[in-house]
Amino acid sequence: METKILPWALDGVALGSRVLEIGPGPGITTDLICSRVDQLTCVEIDAALAKSLSRRLDGRNVTVLNEDATAMSFPDASFDAAVSFTMLHHVPSAELQDRLLAEVARVLRPGATFAGTDSLYSRIFGLLHLFDTMVVVDPKSFPDRLQAAGFANVQVDVGARAFRFRATKA
């Protein structure tokens, strides 16, 4: 994550000072991002993960909230950037993924960037998610989905096992 995925995902992306991380899980990317920004806010749907991450990062520039990213409690235009790393496939349907994208657009200020990554399907990836939610995002249709959610300047790049995306709030 530190040497390949995050540098690839954020290459050329200016995060700003107030950043939202969607679905940090155990906080691997959170640990790497918090030193790059003034304030990092994480939205994690899993209560145990949110509590653990909040406890671990207590006293740092990170706020962890246990809430659903498809219906966030923030006012419009609250953040300078948003990031999401390898978690969109955990959202249980394409419709909920689209609702999440629209919510991210809502809470970003105009011109702010949404950047991140997600995995491409493979047999090994499927086996790893055998008893877990896995709704793979098609990188070919993802630009249209981001635009429909309110983003512009959409860029999706496909790598060997993952794709990265970046877009700005229109």
- The CATH number assigned to the domain holding 34 equals 3.40.50.150
Label residue 135 by pLDDT band (50, 70, 90).
Answer: confident
pLDDT at 69 over 90: yes
Q: Identify the band that residue 62 occupies on the pLDDT scale cut at 50, 70 and 90.
A: very high
Q: Which residue do the tokens 């939610």 mark?
A: 133
**Domains held by the chain: number:** 1
| Tens digits of residue pLDDT in 35-59 | 999 999 999 999 999 999 999 999 9
Structural domain harbouring 56 = 5-169
Question: Cβ distance 80 to 58 under 8 Å?
Answer: no
